[in-house]
Amino acid sequence: MSSPSVPLSPPSHPDSAPLPASLVLLMATGTSLAVASIYYSQPLLGQLGESLHASTGTIGLVPTLTQLGYALGILLLAPLGDRHDRRNLITLKAAGLALALLACGLAPGVGLLLAASLVVGVTATMAQDIVPAAAALAPEALRGRTVGTVMTGLLLGILLSRVASGLVAQQFGWRAVYGLAAVGVAAIGVASWRGLPHLAPTTTLGYGALMRSLAQLWQRHPALRRAAWAQGLLSVGFSAFWSTLAVMLFQRYQMGSATAGAFGLAGAAGALAAPLAGRLADRRSPGWVTRLGTGLTALSFAAMALELWLPTPAWLPLLVLATIGFDFGVQATLVAHQTLIYSLEPAARSRLNAVLLTAMFIGMAAGSALGSQALAHGGWLAVVALATLAAAAAWGVRMATPVGRH
């Protein structure tokens, strides 16, 4: 029998004054660089396949393994933040992430690239250690504002990663993207080791007991299961699109990685969705927002099928608008789902979030694999059909749950 959890004293701020701006900036930058590592490869897939002489299906495994690694890292490593000093975890993961990115940039063939991509995903979960560290360090009265600032860094990492990756690859090649990313992560690792204070563990619960508690939460809360299924299904479509966009634009329109990366600017919708979805969840209900978000996502993906009837000059602007629409829908639904599950069991919020994010990134990994196969065997419209069906299934999950109830 495992020993019971013994709460320890959390680190406390000496007064109600805000954390130093330099410390908040350090944490926001750390989350940004960590999460960006997951998405660098997506605008590069056309270049990667050509450079390493890999098929569309094989090169599509790069984002698949990265996202699968992230899901595994969240599931297996995120609970350790309650048991060990997060400062040590952050710096160790930063070192591992920098080495994995460097291995990607130096990979002579697709085999090493795939292996290193899996490690990139696992170690990029340092972002999920930084956010709770910010919550622990901030004074209670300013905790929301502090965590919000750090989360803005995470959203900007998602937004800017594809744009920066595409532009750098267009000018200097895809290996330069990974090299520069490795340098950036190494620098933030050193800065974190020097700048972050020690964070005392909050429990003595053993690793096995921590992991078992995740399954217990899953069994105990039907609302958590519904949220995980719906967000995972949305992630299938989300990832299928982003994992195949660069290849489609390269093959059909001879557009380079810079153009594919520029589509990442549509991710600005995600940054706008977060505060708006939170306000809507407060005014209406989280369940109402999940219906709205999943429905918008399904309609946005379905609109891409108008390629069958529209000429290219008209369809490409529609593709941009649809990208903004589904990105907004996915991010709004995620914020609403987090709001919903945090109310289930306040003492287990980090583990509830770990379960939700694990489901989300399993969906992303599945979307990358299925999307690349759909593109290889059925063309772009097969990818659109896959994304639309996955989002419609997520909408069905949410519609089956009465609004206002868990």
Q: Which residues contact 259 (CB under 8 A, 6 or more apart)?
A: 166, 249
379: left (phi over 0), alpha (psi -120 to 50) or beta: left
Residue (of 2, 19, 336, 37) closest to 183 by Cα position: 37
If asked whether residues 279 and 197 sit together in one domain, one would say no
In a domain, 139, yes or no: yes
- With tokens 């930084």, the residue in question is 130
If asked whether residues 57 and 180 sit together in one domain, one would say yes
Q: How far is CA 147 from the centre of its chain?
A: 17
Which is higher by pLDDT, 180 or 335?
A: 180
In a domain, 26, yes or no: yes
If asked whether residues 124 and 224 sit together in one domain, one would say no
Give the pLDDT confidence of 99-154 residue by residue, as tens digits.
999 999 999 999 999 999 999 999 999 998 887 777 778 776 666 567 667 777 87
Pseudo-torsion of CA 28, 32, 35, 36, nearest 10°?
A: 180
Q: Pull the structure tokens for residue 64.
A: 């698949």
Residue 56, domain CATH: 1.20.1250.20
Residue type, 329: G
Neighbours of 305 (CB within 10 A): 14
| Distance from C-alpha of 276 to C-alpha of 237, rounded to nearest angstrom | 22
Query: At 160, is the pLDDT very low, low, confident or very high (cuts 50, 70, 90)?
Result: confident
Q: Is the Cα dihedral 200, 204, 208, 213 positive or negative? A: negative
- The domain tally of the chain equals 2
Domain limit, last residue, from 149, 169, 204: 204
If asked whether residues 45 and 145 sit together in one domain, one would say yes
In a domain, 5, yes or no: no
Q: Sort 120 into a burial class: Cβ within 10 Å, 0-12 / 13-18 / 19+.
A: buried
Give the pLDDT confidence of 336-380 residue by residue, as tens digits.
887 787 778 766 777 787 888 889 888 988 998 899 899 989 998
If asked whether residues 287 and 377 sit together in one domain, one would say yes
| Distance from C-alpha of 199 to C-alpha of 16, rounded to nearest angstrom | 18
| CB 34, CB 97: distance < 8 Å | yes
DSSP single-letter state for residue 71: H
If asked whether residues 45 and 182 sit together in one domain, one would say yes
Give the pLDDT confidence of 81-91 residue by residue, as tens digits.
777 888 999 99
Residue type, 116: A
Q: How far is CA 362 from the centre of its chain?
A: 11
If asked whether residues 285 and 260 sit together in one domain, one would say yes
Domain limit, last residue, from 182, 204, 226: 204
- Residue-level pLDDT at 147: 67
If asked whether residues 363 and 398 sit together in one domain, one would say yes
In a domain, 327, yes or no: yes
Q: How far is CA 358 from the centre of its chain?
A: 10
Q: Pull the structure tokens for residue 15.
A: 């007064």
Query: At 405, is the pLDDT very low, low, confident or very high (cuts 50, 70, 90)?
Result: very low
In a domain, 1, yes or no: no
| Distance from C-alpha of 20 to C-alpha of 384, rounded to nearest angstrom | 46
If asked whether residues 184 and 314 sit together in one domain, one would say no
Residue (of 329, 302, 333, 330) closest to 318 by Cα position: 302
If asked whether residues 350 and 215 sit together in one domain, one would say yes
Pseudo-torsion of CA 275, 67, 202, 24, nearest 10°?
A: -50
| CB 93, CB 129: distance < 8 Å | yes
Q: Pull the structure tokens for residue 101.
A: 């990115």
In a domain, 7, yes or no: no
If asked whether residues 179 and 230 sit together in one domain, one would say no
In a domain, 88, yes or no: yes
Residue (of 119, 383, 47) closest to 242 by Cα position: 383
Range of the domain at 128: 16-204
Residue type, 129: D
Give the pLDDT confidence of 182-202 residue by residue, as tens digits.
999 999 999 999 999 988 777
| Distance from C-alpha of 220 to C-alpha of 199, rounded to nearest angstrom | 30
Domain limit, last residue, from 204, 220, 250: 204
If asked whether residues 162 and 226 sit together in one domain, one would say no
